[in-house]
Structure formats: structure tokens, C-alpha cells
Amino acid sequence: MFKRNARQDLIFFLVFSAFVLSMPVLLAPIGAGYPDLLQKFAIYGLFAIGFNILFGLTGYLSFGHAAFLGVGSYAAVWMFKLLTMNVIPAIVFAVIISGLFALAIGYVSLKRSGIYFSILTLAFAEMSYKLAYSVLTPLTNGETGLQVKLRASGPVTDLINQDVRVLDAAMGIEENGIPAPSLFGLEITGWQAFYLCAVMLIAGFYIAMRINRSSFGMMLRAIKSNQNRLNYTGVYPRPYLLAAFTISGMYAGLAGALLAVTDPLAGAERMQWTASGEVVLMTILGGAGTLLGPFLGAAVIKYFENIFSAINENSLHAVLSFLPDPVENALVSVLSMFVGEGWHLTLGLLFMLIVIFLPGGLIEGFNRLIGLFTRSRKQTTGENREEA
């Protein structure tokens, strides 16, 4: 790791940025060249990169990260409603709020480790989810979800259904109908939204890379490999853990804010623990502890979710029509279990296979493939894993 020099990192980072920015062109041939899907790649990529700072580096498995995503979404929509449709305050506010939220939850949860930590985070996330539906409806609007509404003309009595947008009003911005989020006058929809997310992703990736290469990142990895030994050397690991937890919560908040920017509607279902499970899936699938892995996992899952759930029995029949009828029908009835509505089955199977056979995720798979072709004895597999 110390052999790696700054120039290699810079090249790696530049290649990554170039790839992300040119995704609309590069991924068009595989049917992913449209903003709705690509911005999901970027948003969930950010979410997973942040989650990886906690799970990948320290080994602490949180099952409650979706709560921070949800809090970020709510915070961003509230900024849209109260202050301005400009995305900058929304994003900043969402990151701060979810960071504070993560700080509080992390402070309590990190008193325990192992499975107890997982259960504690799960408990906190479920509490937030349940509260968002019940007591906190004045803040979250319950099952309907929090939405951007028309600006109130008269006195405001009901903040959920009447927006104020103080800043916009002060600056004299006219609104016709419900406005879209904007960046200093530029409307953030379609491709603009993707590029906003892409820039955020690149920034997030850069920060994650810096953390990874820093002594702080080293400390986090030390916690993962042997916390006892760290204690014996006189290091108190909890502040480092709390910092990692808060940072990953802020990433989740940023992802939540971007979700709210691309679609100004926040609902509590984003906070459910299955959503937390999804980000775990993404990170593991790509490769926990690697830099590129989480983004890769998020992109792969979102891509296949999109492709697989679009396939139905008719399209299967169309593809397999060259086969004899009985074979075709049998094959279709089997395959239809795995596509469309049944896409989660494919996901579950894929995930199991990865955990069983490829604990290092897709990145490890690539490295093994590369290792097959370029057999240089000097490079150990451990070194290879660092490459990513």
C-alpha cells in the first residue's frame, strides 16, 4: 500500500471520472444510456461508497443505513419547501442533518460490536421508520410522503401542503405551477440531474479515496483486522469508528438528498430495513473494502433490476420461439421465475453465490481473472486486492 504513489492514484481517479462522465455514451449500447437509470447508478453508488467506509474498512456491519438516506431525503425536501428550490442548500442541509443523526445513533450503537452492533443499528432504523409513519407525520406526512407544493399566497397555516420558499420569494422568482429543483436558475431535470449526481459521485469517490489512503483509513483497517491488539497498543478505537460511522451517514444523507433532487418526494419506505439490506448487497456484490467495488455493485444491481424487471413471459416467448413448443414452454415457465416480478429471486441467488464463492465480490473476480492471464509471481493476491 505504501508503494502506491500519488500519481497512480491520480490516474486511477481521472480514469474513474472520465468513465462516470462519459457513461451516457459508453453505456448506451447496453441500453443504459438514459438519465433516469444513470443517476440511480450515481446515487446508489454514493450510498454504497459511503457504506463501504464503515463496513468495508472497519468490518462493522450496519443494518440501519437506510435511515440516514431517508433523513437526508426529508431534510432536502424541507429545504425545497421552506427556503428555495436551489439544490445547494438542500444538499448541504441534508448532509448536515443526516450527519448529526448518524453521530447520535453511532454514539450509542458503537458501544457494542459484532452482531449486537448490527441489531442496534437495525433497531434504530426500524424505530425511525415506524416513527416516520406515526408520531412524526407532521414532519414526514406519513404514508403520502413529503412533497413540494405550490407556494402559499396568503398566510401559511399548514406547512405540509403550503410552501413558503422564503429565499425564492425574497429574490422575486416567479413560479408557475410546482417548480422543479434548480441550480441558480438552471432547471435540474433529465441530463442536468444526471450530471449533478455524477459530479457528486466523483467528489464522493475522491473523498473516499483520500480517506482510504490516509492514516485515518489505516486506523480503520486496523480495527477490522484486530481490535484487541489495537486496544493493547493503547489506541482507543471508538472515536475513529464514530467518525467513520458519521461520514458514511453523511454519504447516505447526500444520496438521499440527490434522490429528493431527482424526484422531490420523500417517503418513509426508503428507511425500511430491507433498503438497508440492499446497500449491503451492493457493497458485497462489488467487493467490500475496495474503492471501486461499491459503485460497481450498485451499478450492476440497478442495471439488472432495470433489465430483468422489464422482461416478461411474452418477451421470453419471442426470444425462445426457435425452440420446439414443449421445450419453449417449459423453459419459459422456469425462466419467468427469475425475471420481471421475480427479479429479487435472481438477486438473492446471485448474492448467495457471491458470498459463498467470491467473498471479495466482483472486484476479486476480476483480479482472479487478471491473475490467470498475467502470472507474475511477485504480486500476491493481497496486493491485487489493494489495486481496486
The candidate with the shortest Cα–Cα distance to 347, out of 383, 308, 381, 321, is 308
Which member of 284, 299, 316, 339 binds another protein (CB under 8 A)?
284
Residue showing cell 453521530: 103
> Between residues 136 and 169, which has the closer beta carbon with respect to another protein?
136
Pick between residue 214 and residue 329 the one whose CB is nearest to another protein: 329
If one asks whether residue 127 binds another protein (CB under 8 A), the answer comes out as yes
Contact characters 293-332, another protein, x per CB under 8 A: ----------------------------------------
With CB under 8 A as the contact rule, the residue among 1, 11, 14, 135 that binds another protein is 135
Overall size of the chain counted in residues: 388
Nearer to another protein, 181 or 289 (CB): 289
Q: How far is the CB of 158 from another protein (least distance, A)?
A: 20
Asked if 55 contacts 287 with a C-beta cutoff of 8 angstroms, the reply is no
Cβ atoms of 62 and 241 within 8 Å: the answer is no
Binding residue for another protein (CB under 8 A) from 12, 89, 126, 269?
A: 126
Over the range 50-83, which residues count as b (16 or more CB within 10 Å of their CB) and which as e?
A: bbbbbbbbbbbbbbbbbbbbbbbbbbbbbbbbeb
Q: Considering the rule CB under 8 A, would residue 274 count as an interface residue with another protein? A: yes
Q: CA separation (Å) from 48 to 66, 150, 182, 285, 339?
A: 11, 34, 26, 11, 24
Binding mask 339-368 for another protein (x = CB under 8 A): --xx-xx-xxx-xx--xx--x---------
Q: How many CB atoms lie within 10 A of CB 302?
A: 22
Binding test (CB under 8 A) with another protein, winner from 23, 27, 54, 61 = 61
What is the footprint of another protein within residues 96-125 (CB under 8 A)?
108, 111-116, 118-120, 122-124
Question: What are the grid coordinates assigned to 348, written together?
Answer: 438473492
Distance CA 192, CA 207 (A): 23
Nearer to another protein, 73 or 113 (CB): 113
Nearest to 87 by CA among 262, 205, 265: 262
Asked if 52 is part of the footprint of another protein (rule: CB under 8 A), the reply reads no
* Closer CB to another protein, 124 or 194, in the complex: 124
CA 341 to chain centre: 23
Three-state SS letters, 190-202 = CHHHHHHHHHHHH
Among 7, 12, 51, 27, smallest CA distance to 202 is for 12
State the burial class of residue 189 (Cβ atoms within 10 Å of its Cβ: 0-12, 13-18, 19+).
middle
Please report how close the Cβ of residue 363 comes to another protein at its closest, in angstroms: 16
Q: Which is nearer to another protein, 22 or 134 (CB)?
A: 134
Closest CB 295 distance from another protein, rounded Å: 19
Q: How far is the CB of 61 from another protein (least distance, A)?
A: 5
**Residue carrying the nine cell digits 438528498:** 257
Cα gap 78→95, rounded to integer Å: 13
Choose one: 16-24, 193-201, 206-214, 270-278; the region binding another protein (CB under 8 A). 270-278
DSSP annotation of 73 reads: H
Judged by beta carbon, residue 239 or residue 359, the one nearer another protein is 359
Select the residue interacting with another protein from 16, 41, 51, 273 (CB under 8 A): 273
Q: Least distance from C-beta 134 to another protein, angstroms?
A: 4
Size of the site for another protein (CB under 8 A): 41
Binding site for another protein (CB under 8 A): 59, 61, 108, 111-116, 118-120, 122-124, 126-127, 130-131, 133-136, 273-274, 277, 280, 284, 337, 341-342, 344-345, 347-349, 351-352, 355-356, 359
